[in-house]
Amino acid sequence: MKAISGLLLVISLLVAAPAMGQQAAPSFAGRTVTLVVGYNPGGGYDQIARIIARYLPKYLPGNPTVVVQNMPGANSITAANHVYGARPDGLTLGAFNRNLILGQLVKVPAIRFDMSKFAWIGSPATETTILAIRADLPYRTPADLVSAREALVVGATGPGASTYDFPLLLKALAKFNLRIISGYPSSGDIMLAIERKEVDGRAGSYSSIKPFIDRGLVRAVVRSRASVAAIAQLPTDESLVSDARAKAVMNLRAVPEQLGRPYLLPPGTPAAIVRAYWDAFTKITQDREFLAEAERAGFEIEYTRGDEAQKIVQSVLNSPPDVVKIFQQFFSFN
């Protein structure tokens, strides 16, 4: 399957060599668009990419064939490096790790791209992070967690993941009494550790924790900036700190969640093609069938268009150095 998609990529590059960018109204008729995903099949990034790949042909002018190519490696840096150097003809687009922007901010050496130079299609979905604790614990509010006599044990995967970074900032900046234990292979394994009371809670995406909230195992205490209606009344992490710099650091961590599933075209893609993708993504994220599928798969669909996304990216990269310096102490990209 993958070999075939690789082959299709080669063929599409050969066939489509004459750039279609010059035309005013691009048409993808008879072309093959390759959607490069920075992860292996099976994860969230792959899953939503495969759903989008099925709707793109319907909404792109000329109804092209769209194939998904998985290019895992280095938290999708490999794939992003690849798409950054691809021909900007609209036939190659990428779906990468949302944290790449923070990776660039803290200057990960392997990154050979500039996130602000990609032609942004935008992000079709947000990711809301919450901290949830076991429902049998006496704590209910953030204040309870600050004054908790014994440290709450929070299970985490590792740095660079919301399971780790979110509680870390709560502990360091909002003075939550937490003990973070990292090293769990996946958020599912942390959930199991909660069941057997090895840990008291965990942070993670709302969509992945929701079934366990519904079941009464855990309750949500704090959320990050991006939100969905069901948990809008929860206090945000930023509301729990008064210092402006602390707020800014928390905001930096949360930015990628607003752009939860970034879709990018190579730098220099002609504006007409970028606009065609904006229109297609706008229509896809309003398609009822698409919405139903995405909801069942647990995605929070909310399209942030490329121009808006690019502004957010620019503001992150322009963060004041003192904020970046504090942020760097907490964040590592891996």
Residue 99 as a binder of other proteins (CB under 8 A): the answer is no
Question: Which of 83, 241 has the CB closer to other proteins?
Answer: 83
Decide: helix, strand or coil at residue 238: helix
Select 85 or 235, whichever has its Cβ closest to other proteins.
Answer: 85
User: Minimum distance between the CB of residue 241 and other proteins, rounded to whole angstroms?
Assistant: 25
Q: Residue 17: what residue type?
A: A
Residue 296 near other proteins by CB under 8 A: yes
Q: Is 192 in the site for other proteins (CB under 8 A)?
A: yes
7: contact with other proteins by CB under 8 A: no
Select 141 or 186, whichever has its Cβ closest to other proteins.
Answer: 186
CA separation for the pair 143, 274 (Å, rounded): 47
Would you say 309 and 135 are in contact if contact means Cβ atoms under 8 Å apart?
A: no
Sign of CA dihedral 63, 89, 1, 261: negative
195 binds other proteins (CB under 8 A): yes
Among 154, 191, 250, 274, binds other proteins (CB under 8 A): 191
Q: Quick count: other Cβ atoms within 10 Å of Cβ 28? A: 24
∠ Cα 306 228 155 (to 5°): 100
Let me know: does 252 contact 237? Beta carbons within 8 Å.
Answer: no
136 binds other proteins (CB under 8 A): no
Residue 20 or 199 having the CB closest to other proteins: 199
The answer to whether 248 contacts other proteins (rule: CB under 8 A) is: no
- Tokens for 112? 């050979």
Going through the chain in order, the beta strands assigned E by DSSP cover: 32-37, 65-70, 92-95, 119-126, 129-134, 152-156, 178-182, 201-205, 218-223, 263-265, 300-305
6 binds other proteins (CB under 8 A): yes
> Under DSSP, is residue 93 helix (H, G, I), strand (E, B) or coil?
strand
How large is the C-alpha radius of gyration of the chain?
21
Q: What's the CA gap between 25 and 146, in Å, rounded?
A: 57
Q: Does residue number 47 form part of the binding site for other proteins (CB under 8 A)?
A: yes
Task: Report if residue 123 touches other proteins, rule: CB under 8 A.
Answer: no
The torsion angles phi and psi of 173, rounded to 5 degrees, stand at -105, -35
Closest CB to other proteins among 293 and 308?
A: 293
Residue 85 found at the interface with other proteins (CB under 8 A): no
Residue 215 is a binding residue for other proteins (CB under 8 A): yes
Judged by CB under 8 A, the stretch of 72-80, 96-104, 165-173, 226-234 that binds other proteins is: 72-80
Site for other proteins contains 114 (CB under 8 A): no
Among 58-66, 166-174, 244-252, 295-303, which window interacts with other proteins (CB under 8 A)?
Answer: 295-303
Distance CA(254)–CA(248), nearest Å, equals 10
How far, in Å, CA of 18 to CA of 15, rounded? 8
42 binds other proteins (CB under 8 A): yes
DSSP at 230: G
For residue 57, state whether it binds other proteins (rule: CB under 8 A). no
Please choose, out of 176-184, 231-239, 303-311, 316-324, the segment that lies near other proteins by the rule CB under 8 A: 176-184
Compute the C-alpha angle 69/100/61, nearest 5°. 45
What is the binding site for other proteins (CB under 8 A)?
1-3, 6, 40-42, 46-47, 50-51, 54, 69-75, 77-78, 81, 110, 153, 158-160, 181-186, 188-189, 191-193, 195-196, 198-199, 211-212, 214-215, 293, 296-298, 332, 334
